[in-house]
Structures are given as structure tokens and as C-alpha cells.
Structure 1
């Protein structure tokens, strides 16, 4: 006789275990079916998502505790969003294959997938296929040069990524057999390098002719607007009950508030124009070689503050093990300011940079901008958050969302600006407001870009004109946003997620513990950190014990005053 099942020993996976299994299964599938543009991969992973979504219906949702219901909704939203994204990627890739002629991409994909299955290999036959592929590649290249193959630059960009991926997989394919299989080496050692070169020539030609950039150009900003449908799918997954246009309106309203504060701070310094005050702040930077020590001291200042005022629990090991590195010049083109998380990566000019770039980097990483960035990146921001995420319900890290991870870091910008106990000179305020205005601009330019309403250059101009960015740092920010492989809501998630947490803090904590639940500020912050990753509306339901429904929709309108 088997064990008796009871409500405390259900005959189904716990939701936590289910999430771990699904993510491990998906990771195995993606590692095995590794050619992203392969129809075989699309079909297999699509079937996996559909099967997992269907099987969720068998989970007795009402029997789950609150944490289990949260996990259910997290997994359901994740699977649905990933499935929709997979289908849309397949649709976009279907536009690329005709441009590339079809034959050689399909043939090379099959060769790569055959190696993954460890099929018997016929070196002589494969050599013949490679020769045919070379002929097709050259035919496509000539058609592009002659103007016969015209295409939208977005499709051309995707084509270069498809070809680069094939090249990378072919390197591994060739290395797998080379020298281990003498006959393979005999037949393939001549045609393989030629195919590799032909693929690179085709990539270079597409860049030059179809996109209009030099093959080695790493500065030109090229992106792919994702469109309204992808934005709406992301909003549903992130549990944001607003339209893109309403979010853009929030960006404008918050910017107006920031500008009024900036004017007041500038006036206290004797400036009539806040941009003149911003220029004054930008001139206050440390000499080359001194930035790491500045950042070190600013990290200690922020850590000491939150501990002294009992705002959040900082594990001693978390504060003890902060690692510091320097940002390379090439990385600074994407990340003009320093980054944080497990470590702090300091962005500052090197001796190899041109004089003008050195000055822009130093001005962009001045004393006051840096002070406002340190607590965002380290403690109480990303570093503290990531420390907790690795230790408390770590399986939820798979559901990373900018409204949570970036929202938490921006939230502290709001908290500390509002706190009288956080020392702020007018210059400090201007540094904090610069970043807050930057977050407003991010909402506007990122959403408008993906809606097709702004070009990359217009995004740069917005950051320069609205926020006061150095042109080089504005270019870096837009390059990161557009070319950094982020989702359509990532840049908007900083401020919007922070505003969600700020609204929830008022609701639960209030001023001096006067919120509806009279929840302490430290308890509120610790509860958020221990919950790991999830949309803020879901965290709200978790801590308030609100009723969660299997197919419930987002409804929390966290921002007041929208038209």
C-alpha cells in the first residue's frame, strides 16, 4: 500500500520545484538546439512552452499558499511571454531567410545540428555541400552589391546577426572533428576556412551596402524597434495596467517636477538657468587615478547611512566583499557611467582616450553624479539586492524584471532625495536630479523608439537637450538602450518600478509608520529583498495578503493624476 496523500503532501510538484525543473529543462533544450534561427529549435521549444502552459491547468491553484500562488503567476506569465516572443522571433527570421537566399543557411544549420546529434559524418559529402554553400553565399553577396537584393535595414541587421551566429557555431563544429577524424580533416580542411571567409565577406557587404556602415564600425547606433504589440505583451507580463502613451505621460509629468526642483537648487547657488548650475557641477571632478578612492568612500557613506537609520538589513558579508574594477575604454562606449551589482565597475578616462573624450568622461562622472550613482549601484541598491536574491528564494531570479531590480535601485534615489537626514548640498541635489531627469527621459525615448516615433539620433538629442548629458555619454546611453539586447520596457522600468515601490511604501508604511498596515520601513524593505524578483503589483498582493486569482489581471493604478 502506497503512502496516504493529504493536503500537506500533495501529489504534485511544489511551485518552487516546478519552476526549478522548468528552467533547467528549458536551459537543456536551448543548449542542445543551439542555432537560434533553426526551425527545428523553434518547433521544439514552442512545443515545450505549450506543454508547460497546458499542464499548469492541472495545478490546484486554490490549494496553494500565498507564496505558491505568486510562484504560479510568475511562471505562467513567464511562459506566455516567452512563447509569444519565440513566435514573433520566428516571424522576423522568416523575413531574413529569403534575403539570404535560403539554401546555404538551411544547409549550414543542418550540418551544425547533425554534429550536435553526433550523427555519422561523411567528410567528402560535407565538403561538396560546403563548396555549394560558398557558391550560394557569393551569389547573394553579388546580388546585394549589384542592388538586386534590397531590404529594410532592420532585416539587414538581423541577417548579419544570423550569419555571425552561423560562423560561431561552425567554428565549434569544425573543432569537434578536426584531427580527431582523419578523413573529416582531409576533406574539410580546405573548404571550411573558405566558407568562414565567405560568410564574413557577406556580413561586411551587408553592413556596407544595406546598412551603410563600415565593417569595423562599433560607434554607429543601429537597433530594431520592437513595435507596439511587443510593448503591450511586455506590459501584460510585467503587470502594468497602463498603455505606452500613459507611461510616456508619466515621464513628462515627472520631468516637469524634476525641472522645478532643479531650478530651485540652481537658484540657491546663484544661477538663473539650471543648465548653468549643471555645468558648474560637472566641473567638480577628481584628478585621473583618484576615482576608485572617491567611489570607495561614497560606498561607505551610503552603507553607513542606511545602517545608522535602520532603513534596511545589510548583512556584514555583503558590505565586506565589494569588489572594484575599472571599465575598459571600449566598454565605456556602451556604459559611460559606472556599473554595479556583485562588484563596482568604475568608468573614468584612460590615458589612451582623445583629450575631448577624457574631459567628457570626467565631467560625466563628477563628484555629485557619482555620489548619486553609488547608492543606486551598491548599497542599498543593486549590490544589496543581488546579495539577497542569491540567498532567498533564488529560483525567482529567473523572473528578473526591470520594474523590480532597477525599480528598487531607483526607489532609493527617491527615498534619499526625500530624506532630510541624507545630507545634500545644492550641488548634491543637482547630481541626484540629473539622474532623475535621465530616468524620465528614458521612459519617453525608449518607448517612443520602440513605437517607431523617435529615431536613435532623436533619442540622443533628447538626452542632451532635456537632461544636459555630454554628447558622448548620451550616445553611450542610447547605444546601450538600443543595442544592449534589452526588452522594450527595460529603460522605462527604472523610474516606473521605483514609483511603484514609492507608492506602495506610502500605502504600507506612510509617514512615521502611519500607513494602513503600520508596517515599519525596515520591515518593508527587508520583505521586498527576501521576496526576490517579481512585478511590484505581485509583491503588493503578497505582503498585503490580497486574494490572488488563477487568471487575474493587473489592476493596481499606482500613479495619480493621469488623464
Structure 2
């Protein structure tokens, strides 16, 4: 799992699609008064002559807009994004699809899908904002003050003080309504005053509103500091009402978070996520070129899970435990290295894996990728989100026991990162996994980072996990248990993440599934679910691992198993395509004709089920 990348950053519960790595971009390209399609001085933008330029320009412009209109709780931000999307859709239509080569056509369709999906998430953000609006009646005041500062308008200190003076009373009124709702009071008859009637909200909306209030409080502080230090007389009017507003907002955010959402800052706090629902899942699947419904994917996950259970039983029998794979898993988890030895174990595995790959001529491994990497330990605090390993760009984060953990926490960390689990996790993160993948992506079509998808980003690593299974990377039944545990874990991620977003499974039930059905340590299961639903990853991210691996495996069967390509050229070639949906990599590798209205049609799981060998 690449810790440094994020495919969907949810800010204040408002999911903002951030397309690839948008760091180190220039300042805002258009002021708050510029029209869509115009530069800083109102000059129409020419349509780029090539798709890479079109894509880079969109990524730059979108990044500028997101940074300039920084308040995710402002309609202005959503309006400006919608205008950008409309303008780029029109510009895309002006490009003659038939004049593009195959890679250009793929870029065209990637851009079309991205704009379509960005619009869908912009609409979702608007709906989520409207859903929490009753909890933040002071939002228009803070928004307007902030946006007047963006427009560099003069501030009327007296008028601003009167606006801010209303906020404590507004906070008190809404808190009173929420308290009535928590006490079980009902609104009564239709004539009841909506300004004082009881109000009830669930923990999801309460958590979203708490984050929004905290952000508004920060924006208000920036606004005040911007004026107070440099405008004589401003503080005379505004200081007192501003300070009272700050205090009431701070207390209100804590009330929403602790009392309404139930998040008291304790280790046993409930996990709260924001499901997106079936319609948005379908839109995401369309964007990822997956021609299956969420229910279809759950069935695929269940099928893969059952396959893993069968292989687990076979390994358990070899260990003298009949078909009791859970007993075999327990024995495997208790085979861990001593504290302080985990990085040395990982280093040994890296060297063994590189030799394993090169001796079989499976793919090209550039010298820099074998030179430029290191290991770093994950702190106990961060292990609450990353209990195993992650790839952080030239280094792997490694989870293991720490002297700042309790004895039980240390044992769970060691059992969860035992020798046999770690043996397959290290190749996933380093070589041939994310480290090699990232090296190649930075050097081949880097503009396609704008379309980064977990179905290739994580699917590439799962493809290799399955290939290493076929090639005999496991040395013992315990090693096979370790490999199967992770593949079962990825099948479970499909099942539980989709059920969560469909509203069919709670976070607590997700944790139970990982502990009872997969065999995770409790703390590790909690960490995993916390990350799945926390908003830092796209809703389909957890599905991307195994489903993406199945996709690449199916493509391999077409191109190598039944086609003209050899193993090494195939693996080298697909790493030069960028982290894009596998359907488009397939179109490039097999030279499949594309049209401007192309939609996903490749039933990769169906063909794989039909052609799968008995033992994988």
C-alpha cells in the first residue's frame, strides 16, 4: 500500500477528488472573477495540440482552484469546479478523436471519464453540504467574510462585528435543539417553531459537521489576523465578538464530536465512516472501467475467499492439523522474529526476492531501484492506521513491537507481522511491487498520474502475489498460509468495503469479519477498518487490490498465455502505461479499437473463471 499517495481525499466529509500528485504547482491561474475557459486576463485558452498537454493543464488548473478556493464548505468552490469541468468537456469535444493514435485515444477517454467522475463527486459534495447545513447556521457569515477577503474587498469592521456577535446565540440555539433530540423529544405538531424544535442527527453527519466547524473556526481566525494586524481600528470593533465566536465554535465542535458522534478521544471510540451509496459506487465503477455491479463484485470476492479457505485447509493438513486452517494460522502467527530483528528479516527477504526474479528473467529491474530504498519503523501511534507495512517513496514503513506499547499490543504487532506474513508483504511494497512501479511511473508517461487507479496501483502488486504463488515463492505450508492469509484478506476487503458503502455493514461488523473470518489480530483489524472508512482512500480502493490483480492476470493470459508476447516484455510494457484502468492497458497491449463513446465491456472475471487452472 503506497502511504504517500491518495486517490480520494475526504476533507470535512466532503470528498474532493484530487487527481494524482499535484504538489509544487504554481499560484492560482485565474482570479475569483475569471470566467471558465479564460486565463488571468480573460484571454480564451487555446485547445492543446496533444492530449498530454491537455491533461497536464487540467491537473494544474484544478490544483490551483482547489488551493485558492480552499474552504470545502463553500458553494463557491463547487461552482468554480463545475465551471472548470464544463469548459474542459467542451474543449475535449473539439478534439478530433480519429486523428489521435492509440495512446492519444486512451488519454482522451481517460480525460472524459475523469471529468464525468469529478462532476459526480462535486454533486455529492453539494449534497453532503446541504445535509449538514442545519447544524451550521453560522456558515454563511463565515463564508462571506472569507470570500470578501479572497476578492480583496474592503471590510466594514462595524458590520462584521454585528455579524460575528450573532454566532454564540446561533450556536446555543442549535445545541439546545440537538440536546432535545438526544433526549428523545419530538417536534410535535406541524405548527411548531422550526428554530426551536428538537433536531436529531446520526454520528456520520455529526462528525462531518464537527470537522466543518473546526475548519470554519480556523478560517475565521485567519480572516481576523489578516485584518487586525494591519488595519487601525479594526480590532476595536471586532476583537471581542470574534473571541466569543471562536470560543462558542470550539465548544460546539467538541460537543458535536464527543456527545453527538460519540468520539471522546479514547482507544475504544466507535469508528465512523461516510458511505457513498450504490449510485455513486456505480459511477466509480464506470470511471474505473469495471463492467460489474457492486453485488457482482461481492460475489467475486466471496468466490476468491472460498478458494483461499480450501487452500488453507490443504496447508493445514500438511502441517498435521487435518483441515483446521485456523489452528494452522495460529501456529503460523506465532513464528515471529525477536524484537529489533524485523528490519533485518525484511532486508533478507528483499535480497532473496530480487535474486528470485532476476534468475527467472521475469522483468527488468533498474539498478537504481535496488540501490535507493531503506526501511523505517512505524511508530505505535501510526500503527493505529498502518499496522503492517506501507511504501512511502524510497522507503518501506515497517510495523513491529515497540517499547511504547503494552505487552498485549507488542504481541499483536509481532503476531501480525510474523515471518510468513512478512515474506509476501515485502515484495508487495518494494520489488516487484510499489517501489519498482513508482520508479517506472515517474519515467514513463508521468502525466498519467492524474488518473491514478488502485486497480493498477495495487492490482500490479496482487498480480505478482498470485504469480509468486504459481512460481513457488512459498517454501513451506506455513509460507503458503502467510500468502493465503493476505489473499483472503484482499477478498475480504472487497466484501466488507462494498457492503459498507451499500449500507449493509457497520464498521463494527467489518472488524468482526476481519477477526472471525480472516483471522486478524483485533488491534490490526481495527486499524485496517479505520483506514478503509476514514476518507483518505477512494471508496473502491480496497477492491482494487485483488480485482486489479485478477484483471492483470486475465490480460496476461490473453497476451502471453494465448498470445504472442513473452513474459518479460509483457511485464516491462505494462509498467510504462501509467497507473490507469487495466481495460485501457489491455487496449494498448492488444491494440483493441477504441471509439469516443467507449464504455467498459471487458468481463475479465468471467473469462478468468472459465480459463482458470485448478491450482493457482
TM-score class normalised by the smaller sequence: over 0.9
- TM-score computed with the length of structure 1 as normaliser: 0.93
Deviation at 1:186, TM superposition (A): 4.5
368-377 vs 160-169, which deviates more? 160-169
User: Quick one: distance in 1 between partners of 2:143 and 2:238?
Assistant: 17
CA offsets 1:158-212 (integer angstroms, 9 cap, x no match): 2112112212333433443443344334444444343233222111211233223
Check 1:260–1:61 CA distance in 2 against 1; reply closer, same or farther (3 A cut). Answer: same
Which consecutive unaligned segments of at least 5 residues does structure 2 have?
A: 1-45, 182-197, 611-616
Match of 1:304 in 2: 355
> Which residues in structure 2 correspond to 1:105-144 (within 5 Å)?
105-144=139-178
The one of 279, 282, 298 equivalent to 1:248 is: 298
> Which residues in structure 2 correspond to 1:521-536 (within 5 Å)?
521-536=567-582
Deviation at 1:560, TM superposition (A): 2.7
The one of 48, 52, 55 equivalent to 1:16 is: 52
Deviation at 1:266, TM superposition (A): 1.3
> Which residues in structure 2 correspond to 1:150-549 (within 5 Å)?
150-214=200-264, 219-272=269-322, 273-342=324-393, 343-420=395-472, 422-510=473-561, 515-516=562-563, 518-549=564-595
User: Quick one: distance in 2 between partners of 1:215 and 1:348?
Assistant: 24
User: Quick one: distance in 1 between partners of 2:508 and 2:274?
Assistant: 14
The one of 95, 99, 104 equivalent to 1:68 is: 104
- TM-score computed with the length of structure 2 as normaliser: 0.85
Check 1:171–1:509 CA distance in 2 against 1; reply closer, same or farther (3 A cut). Answer: farther
Deviation at 1:331, TM superposition (A): 1.4
Check 1:114–1:323 CA distance in 2 against 1; reply closer, same or farther (3 A cut). Answer: farther
Deviation at 1:326, TM superposition (A): 1.8
Aligned residues: 546
User: Quick one: distance in 2 between partners of 1:361 and 1:139?
Assistant: 47
The 8 Å contact of residues 333 and 416 in structure 2, kept in 1 or not, is answered as yes
User: Quick one: distance in 1 between partners of 2:463 and 2:560?
Assistant: 15
Check 1:119–1:221 CA distance in 2 against 1; reply closer, same or farther (3 A cut). Answer: same
CA offsets 1:243-293 (integer angstroms, 9 cap, x no match): 111111111111111111111111111112111111111111112222122
The 8 Å contact of residues 47 and 54 in structure 2, kept in 1 or not, is answered as no
Q: Alignment partner of 2:575: what SS?
A: helix
User: Quick one: distance in 2 between partners of 1:218 and 1:280?
Assistant: 28
Check 1:307–1:184 CA distance in 2 against 1; reply closer, same or farther (3 A cut). Answer: farther
Match of 1:90 in 2: 126
User: Quick one: distance in 2 between partners of 1:240 and 1:274?
Assistant: 33
Check 1:424–1:185 CA distance in 2 against 1; reply closer, same or farther (3 A cut). Answer: farther
Is the aligned partner of 1:551 residue 2:593?
no
CA offsets 1:88-132 (integer angstroms, 9 cap, x no match): 2101211111232x2x11111111222222222333432332222
Check 1:340–1:218 CA distance in 2 against 1; reply closer, same or farther (3 A cut). Answer: farther
User: Quick one: distance in 1 between partners of 2:119 and 2:455?
Assistant: 21
Check 1:289–1:169 CA distance in 2 against 1; reply closer, same or farther (3 A cut). Answer: farther
The 8 Å contact of residues 207 and 214 in structure 1, kept in 2 or not, is answered as yes
CA offsets 1:392-430 (integer angstroms, 9 cap, x no match): 11110111111010111111110101113x352111111
CA RMSD in angstroms, aligned pairs only? 1.9
Match of 1:4 in 2: none
User: Quick one: distance in 1 between partners of 2:283 and 2:423?
Assistant: 36
Q: Alignment partner of 2:230: what SS?
A: coil
Deviation at 1:78, TM superposition (A): 0.5
Deviation at 1:231, TM superposition (A): 0.7
Deviation at 1:86, TM superposition (A): 0.4
Structure with the larger helix share: 1
Deviation at 1:359, TM superposition (A): 0.8
Q: Alignment partner of 1:324: what SS?
A: strand
The 8 Å contact of residues 35 and 41 in structure 1, kept in 2 or not, is answered as yes
User: Quick one: distance in 1 between partners of 2:567 and 2:140?
Assistant: 58
Which consecutive unaligned segments of at least 5 residues does structure 1 have?
A: 1-9
The 8 Å contact of residues 403 and 498 in structure 1, kept in 2 or not, is answered as yes
User: Quick one: distance in 2 between partners of 1:275 and 1:70?
Assistant: 46
